[in-house]
């Protein structure tokens, strides 16, 4: 299934059926633990299982927000995972998503890489700490391992995406602009706004509660997974100093900073972002050369 883009210029708050130019991707829906998971892929992507990278979006976004990673698809099997829009009330969204990734119905390889942005970074960290044997490499974008690493006013601002009409039309573009920064293209801003409006206020609040309750800082030293952290120096949600602290706590972690980027660097600065990711994955996903037999 391919979701077609809207031929019109992106509206401030686009209709739910409008897909912006550059964000139309093949869509597969998988049922995992009884809930639908939207999985976007790239038509020209490799099918090599060992190069699978599951991409987890931020709060309120869909996997389609990773569409600017398209140039990486020929070399890496990118699965753009979108958490269910309605997490069962029996589980916290963070817990449910970690268990969903590990569930056989997710049909993921025994080992894969994780790329998580914002709330997705929280899910990625929780999964890597619980299932380190399944994670080949870890990429954290604007990481939020603890609420202490998130500016509370930014969390409050993000809830404005969900307030009723007509206020949503006034505040939603402002929220997307703050998250994406001045270099986020209009198509990317419209994609964030449109997808966030799919979430119910209850689901948004439950995910925010997960962020407020989470604190993995003391556990980071136990990670033994190759880790890349990419952060925008102009991130108004997670300060750069806190991303540096996260990098120091994870053994061997590599930190790359995009000086002009904000909270969504893969959407606002895709060329530089993709270069960092490709370089890191080429280092850690390439199979080691076969040993040369010794001469008799």
pLDDT digits over 8-59, tens only? 434 444 555 678 888 999 999 999 999 999 999 999 889 999 999 999 998 8
CATH assignment at residue 199: 3.40.50.1820
Q: Which residue has the higher pLDDT, 156 or 261?
A: 261
Model confidence at 176: pLDDT above 70: yes
Question: Is residue 3 a part of any domain in this protein?
Answer: no
pLDDT of residue 169: 47
18 within domain boundaries: no
- Give a yes or no: residue 42 inside a domain: yes
Tallying the residues shown for the chain, one arrives at 296
Q: Please give the pLDDT value at position 98.
A: 96
**Cα gap 188→92, rounded to integer Å:** 29
Domains: count for the chain: 1
With respect to residue 295, please indicate whether it lies within any of the assigned structural domains.
Answer: no
Asked if residue 22 belongs to a domain, the reply is no
4 has pLDDT over 60: no
**Confidence band of 150 (pLDDT split at 50, 70, 90):** low
Q: Rounded distance, CA 276 to CA 50, Å?
A: 19
Does 178 map to a domain? yes
User: Do the beta carbons of residue 236 and residue 155 sit within 8 Å?
Assistant: no
Bigger pLDDT: 93 vs 164: 93
The three state secondary structure string of the chain is: CECCECCCCCCCCCCCCCECCCCCCEEEEEEECCEEEEEECCCCCCCCHHHEEEEECCCCCCHHHHHHHHHHCCCCEEEEEECCCCCCCCCCHHHHHHHHHHCHHHCCCCCEEEEEECHHHHHHHHHHHHCHHHEEEEEEECCCCEHHHCCHHHHHHHHHHHCCCCHHHHHHHHHHHHHHCCCCCHHHHHHHHHHHCCCCHHHHHHHHHHHHHCECHHHHHHCCCCEEEEEECCCCCCCHHHHHHHHHHCCCCEEEEECCCCCCHHHHCHHHHHHHHHHHHHHHHCCCCCCCCCCC
Looking at 62-71, 156-165, 208-217, 241-250, which range is the least confident one?
Answer: 156-165
Question: Is 4 a member of any domain?
Answer: no
- What percentage of the chain reaches a pLDDT higher than 70? 80
Domain holding 36, by residue range, is 27-285
The pTM is what?
A: 0.85
Whether the CA torsion 192, 106, 96, 246 is positive or negative: it is negative
User: Is 72 within a domain?
Assistant: yes
């Amino acid at each position: 299934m391919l979701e077609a883009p809207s031929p019109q210029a992106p509206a401030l708050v686009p209709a739910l059926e409008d897909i912006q130019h550059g964000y139309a991707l093949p869509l597969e829906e998988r049922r995992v633990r009884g809930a639908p998971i939207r999985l976007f892929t790239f038509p020209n992507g490799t099918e090599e299982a060992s190069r699978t990278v599951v991409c987890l979006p931020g709060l309120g976004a869909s996997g389609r927000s990773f569409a600017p990673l398209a140039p990486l698809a020929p070399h890496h099997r990118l699965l753009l995972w979108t958490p269910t829009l309605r997490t069962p009330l029996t589980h916290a969204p963070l817990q449910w998503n970690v268990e969903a990734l590990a569930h056989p119905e997710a049909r993921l390889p025994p080992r894969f890489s994780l790329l998580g942005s914002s709330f997705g970074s929280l899910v990625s960290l929780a999964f890597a700490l619980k299932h380190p044997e399944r994670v080949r490499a870890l990429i954290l974008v604007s990481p939020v391992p603890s609420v202490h690493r998130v500016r509370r006013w930014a969390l409050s601002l993000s809830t404005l995406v969900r307030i009723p009409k007509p206020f949503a039309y006034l505040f939603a573009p402002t929220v997307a602009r703050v998250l994406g920064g001045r270099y986020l293209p209009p198509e990317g801003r419209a994609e964030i706004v449109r997808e966030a409006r799919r979430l119910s206020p209850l689901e948004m609040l439950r995910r925010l509660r997960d962020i407020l309750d989470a604190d993995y800082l003391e556990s980071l030293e136990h990670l033994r997974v190759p880790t890349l952290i990419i952060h925008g120096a102009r991130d108004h949600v997670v300060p750069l100093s806190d991303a540096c602290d996260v990098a120091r706590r994870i053994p061997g972690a590599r930190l790359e900073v995009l000086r002009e980027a904000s909270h969504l660097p893969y959407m606002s600065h895709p060329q530089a972002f993709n270069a960092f990711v490709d370089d890191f994955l080429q280092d850690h996903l390439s199979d080691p050369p076969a040993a040369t037999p010794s001469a008799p």
